[in-house]
Chains A and B, each alone.
Chain A
Amino acid sequence: GEDVEQSLFLSVREGDSSVINCTYTDSSSTYLYWYKQEPGAGLQLLTYIFSNMDMKQDQRLTVLLNKKDKHLSLRIADTQTGDSAIYFCADPGGHGSSNTGKLIFGQGTTLQVKP
């Protein structure tokens, strides 16, 4: 079945770049997503990438998509302590179009930013 895999933990120093990686199994998705969960809160959409793009940049965030390897990454430049959170990769999986609603989430990567 469809699967989304992430490593569970990443620790960086404040000011460094963080790179969070994700692999997925279904290649028919229209969009792929990164959600962020701050302590004690629900998830919120951080960014997304359309499947026909290789890269998307949004201020300190860069999303890279390698469709051949089914690999998605999120780079956070100049990481701040406020970036400490859990980051989830999400894929609509075999549902193709994202408007069916169902998402498959990775396990979540906890980003720890040390001052």
Chain B
Amino acid sequence: DVKVTQSSRYLVKRTGEKVFLECVQDMDHENMFWYRQDPGLGLRLIYFSYDVKMKEKGDIPEGYSVSREKKERFSLILESASTNQTSMYLCATQTGIVPYEQYFGPGTRLTVT
């Protein structure tokens, strides 16, 4: 079974703090993704990575950065957290075979006060 783990289920941070969200997968998948999920908006892609040290911006990258130093680990960084970044953050990996299924972690609910 594919396992995608995220470092925290719940996180509370203060405005201006630097926040690290970690995602680890055990299936040797090349593609990894960070989404944020907000009610009524669905999932929106923040960043994705298709290889170690490779990254591309998604639809809403502003205020975020990412790091992928090892294939199994993809980190999302909020350089200076703001209240509008309060959200559910989901990490996913993707197989390289049809039908290119994405596997999701359980999510991190981040609250910025």
Q: Which of A33, A40, A42 is within 8 Å of B104, CB to CB?
A: A42
Does A24 sit within 8 A of B, measured CB to CB? no
With A42-B4, A42-B107, A107-B40 already in contact, the answer to whether A102 and B58 are too (CB < 8 A) is: yes
How many angstroms between the C-alpha atoms of A18 and B100 in the bound complex? 26
Q: How far is the CB of A112 from chain B (nearest CB, A)?
A: 15
Check A42 against B43 for contact (C-beta < 8 Å): no
Which residues in B have their C-beta under 8 angstroms from that of A48? 99, 101
With A31-B99, A99-B100 already in contact, the answer to whether A40 and B106 are too (CB < 8 A) is: yes
Q: How far is the CB of A67 from chain B (nearest CB, A)?
A: 17
Q: Which of A40, A42, A98, A105 is within 8 Å of B100, CB to CB?
A: A98
Which residues in B have their C-beta under 8 angstroms from that of A44? 103-104
Q: Which of A31, A99, A102, A108 is within 8 Å of B42, CB to CB?
A: A108
B30-48 at interface with A (beta carbon < 8 Å): 31, 33, 35, 40-45, 48
Which residues in B have their C-beta under 8 angstroms from that of A103? 45, 102
Check B90 against A101 for contact (C-beta < 8 Å): no
Interface size class of A (residues with CB under 8 A): 20 to 34
Residue on A nearest B40 in the bound complex, by CB:
A107
How many angstroms between the C-alpha atoms of A103 and B100 in the bound complex? 11
Does A43 sit within 8 A of B, measured CB to CB? yes
Does A8 sit within 8 A of B, measured CB to CB? yes
Does B82 sit within 8 A of A, measured CB to CB? no
Which residues in B have their C-beta under 8 angstroms from that of A4? 42
Check B42 against A106 for contact (C-beta < 8 Å): yes
Contact with B along A74-88 (1 / 0, CB 8 A): 000000000000001
Does B7 sit within 8 A of A, measured CB to CB? no
Does B64 sit within 8 A of A, measured CB to CB? no
With A31-B100, A101-B48 already in contact, the answer to whether A42 and B42 are too (CB < 8 A) is: no
Which residues in A have their C-beta under 8 angstroms from that of B41? 107
With A99-B96, A101-B48 already in contact, the answer to whether A45 and B102 are too (CB < 8 A) is: yes
Check B99 against A42 for contact (C-beta < 8 Å): no
Q: Which residues of A contact B (CB under 8 A)?
A: 4, 6, 8, 31, 33, 35, 40-45, 48, 50, 88, 98-99, 101-103, 105-108
